[in-house]
């Protein structure tokens, strides 16, 4: 009978036919969500690319963007991505104190990035270059703002991970959440690469 | 409650869970960080310097950005071409296809519309 043969095969099946672990399934599901998030960002990028020159006589990218600020933001985000990797290692080595410190560093770097970005947005809006000025600026605020919003959510997430590790310690569920967070944070950094290249560095070219 | 991450075999791992000894992996992140930082500095230097013609500058910045994204995928997200990661790679490729359709398609359609559209001042004349 085929049923029997399947049942016996199950016991001695090679490892690759074994059911995936919960971490594997959750991680893959979250990875697919992140890919769909990348598609959302690609739509915002396409919008920005189309509206790049629609400045309506208002300020252009060259007038508005300060590459020094963008460089600082990039440094914060890249370093936080690296520290996030180190935090994953600390978690795997089951070192809660080290993990808490590293997550704290990730939080501070992420918050610095967000502060720089809010400062930049505030300066632009105060100078009359808000999202209502031109189609170019609407597209700019939609794209960079969507990324900033993701970073904000990430900061809230780090906060909850910090509270969790300090009060309840490690668990299998904690490991899954931390893993998903690290994927989220690294992908946000990848999106930022596209933003600083296509929006800022190419934007300020004459 | 120990080593729930380390215990399952390599082919079931999703990106980032590659744990060949928990202390043996930080150099991977360090290498990735150094490469990414180098590529970032190169991008900013090229964009602010005046060594390249406008067209070649665009090409150079795009290449540097793609290179840095690949560095991130390999060293931070641990996506490789290993057979165990076939599902991850397939999902990534499908996403890249959709992204290129959205971006290239939008730019193409809008450029076409732009060339075929009657200039706004003429349109106003016609409506009078």
Contact predicate A116/A72, CB 8 Å: yes
Q: Which two tokens stand for residue A166?
A: 């300090």
What is the per-residue pLDDT across A24-64, written as a single tens digit (0 to 9) for each? Answer: 888 889 999 999 999 999 999 999 999 998 888 889 888 89
- A7 part of a folded domain: no
Residues B106 and B68 in one domain: no
Residues B97 and B46 both lie in one domain: no
Interval A101-123: pLDDT, tens? 999 999 999 999 999 999 999 99
**Residues B74, B94 within the same domain:** no
Residues B51, B32 share a domain: yes
User: Is B29 close to A28, i.e. CB distance below 8 A?
Assistant: no
Is A143 a member of any domain?
yes
By Cβ distance, the residue of A50, A81, A189 closest to B107 is A50
B9 shares its domain with B50: yes
Say if B65 is an interface residue toward chain A (CB within 8 Å): yes
3-state secondary structure of A34: helix
Collapsing DSSP to helix, strand or coil, B80 comes out as coil
For residues B18 and B25, the answer to whether their CB atoms sit within 8 Å is yes
Contact (CB<8Å) A42/B98: yes
Whether residue B1 and residue A171 make contact (CB cut-off 8 A), yes or no, is yes
Based on the fold, state whether residues B122 and B71 are members of the same structural domain.
no
Same domain, B67 and B88: no
* CATH assignment at residue A132: 1.20.120.80
The interface pTM score, or ipTM, of the predicted complex is: 0.84
CB–CB contact B12 A18 (8 Å): yes
Query: Which residues of B fall within a CB distance of 8 Å from A190?
Result: 69, 72-73, 77
On the question of pLDDT at B67 being above 60, the answer is: yes
Give the residue ranges of DSSP H helices in chain B.
26-48, 54-71, 86-116, 120-127
Full residue range of the structural domain in which residue A173 is found? 22-201
Looking at the structure, tell me whether residues B67 and B35 fall in a common domain: yes
User: Does any domain span residue A135?
Assistant: yes
Nearest chain B residue (CA) to A193: B65
Q: Token pair 């934007």 is at which residue?
A: A203
Residue A79 in domain: yes
Q: Which residue, among A14, A28, A42, would best test binding to B if mutated, counting the most B CBs under 10 Å from its CB?
A: A42
* pLDDT tens digits, one per residue of A146-160: 999 999 999 999 999
Distance between CA A125 and CA A62 in Å, rounded?
16
Cα dist. A155→A96, A122, A147, A181 in Å?
Answer: 19, 20, 13, 10
CB distance A31–B88 less than 8 Å?
yes
Structural domains of chain A, count: 1
Domain count, chain B: 2
What value does the mean pLDDT of chain A take? 89
Tell me how far apart the alpha carbons of residues B122 and B101 are, in angstroms, rounded to a whole number. Answer: 33
Residue A9 lies in a domain: no
> Among all residues of chain A, which has the CA nearest to that of B5?
A92
Contact with chain A for residue B63, Cβ under 8 A = no
Please report the DSSP string for A42-102 in residue order: HHHHHHHHHHTT--TTS--HHHH--HHHHHHHHHHHHHHHHHHHHHHHHHHTT-HHHHHHH
CA dist A200 → A68, A191, A195, B47 (Å) = 11, 13, 7, 10
What φ, ψ does residue B25 adopt, rounded to 5°?
-110, -15
CA triplet A98, A99, A103: central angle to 5 degrees?
Answer: 120
Both B58 and B93 in one domain: the answer is: no
Boundaries of domain holding B52 = 1-80
Tokens of A99: 């993990």
pLDDT at position A21 is: 79
């Amino acid at each position: 009978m085929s049923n029997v043969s399947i049942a016996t095969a199950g016991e001695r099946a090679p490892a690759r036919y074994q059911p995936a672990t919960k971490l594997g399934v959750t991680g893959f599901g979250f990875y697919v969500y992140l890919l769909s998030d990348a598609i959302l960002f690609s739509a915002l990028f396409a919008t920005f690319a189309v509206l790049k020159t629609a400045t309506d006589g208002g300020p252009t990218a060259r007038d508005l963007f300060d590459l020094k600020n963008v460089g600082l933001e990039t440094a914060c985000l890249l370093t936080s991505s690296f520290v996030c990797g180190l935090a994953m290692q600390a978690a795997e080595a089951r070192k809660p104190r080290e993990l808490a410190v590293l997550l704290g560093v990730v939080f501070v770097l992420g918050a610095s990035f967000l502060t720089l970005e809010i400062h930049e947005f505030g300066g632009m809006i105060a100078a009359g270059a808000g999202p209502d000025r031109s189609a170019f600026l609407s597209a700019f605020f939609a794209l960079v703002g969507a990324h900033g919003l993701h970073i904000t959510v990430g900061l809230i997430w780090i906060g909850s991970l910090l509270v969790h590790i300090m009060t309840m310690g490690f668990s299998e569920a904690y490991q899954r959440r931390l893993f998903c967070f690290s994927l989220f944070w690294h992908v946000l950094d990848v999106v930022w690469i596209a933003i600083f290249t296509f929006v800022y560095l190419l934007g300020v070219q004459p | 409650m120990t080593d729930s991450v380390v215990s399952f075999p390599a082919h079931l791992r999703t990106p980032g869970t590659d744990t060949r000894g928990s202390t043996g992996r930080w150099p991977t992140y360090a290498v990735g960080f150094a490469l990414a930082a180098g590529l970032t500095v190169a991008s900013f230097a090229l964009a602010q310097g005046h060594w390249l013609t406008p067209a070649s500058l665009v090409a150079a910045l795009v290449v540097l950005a793609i290179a840095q994204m690949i560095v991130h995928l390999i060293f931070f997200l641990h996506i490789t071409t290993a057979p165990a990661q076939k599902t991850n790679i397939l999902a990534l490729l499908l996403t890249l296809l959709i992204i290129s359709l959205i971006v290239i398609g939008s730019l193409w359609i809008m450029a076409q519309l732009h060339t075929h559209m009657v200039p706004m001042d003429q349109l106003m004349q016609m409506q009078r």
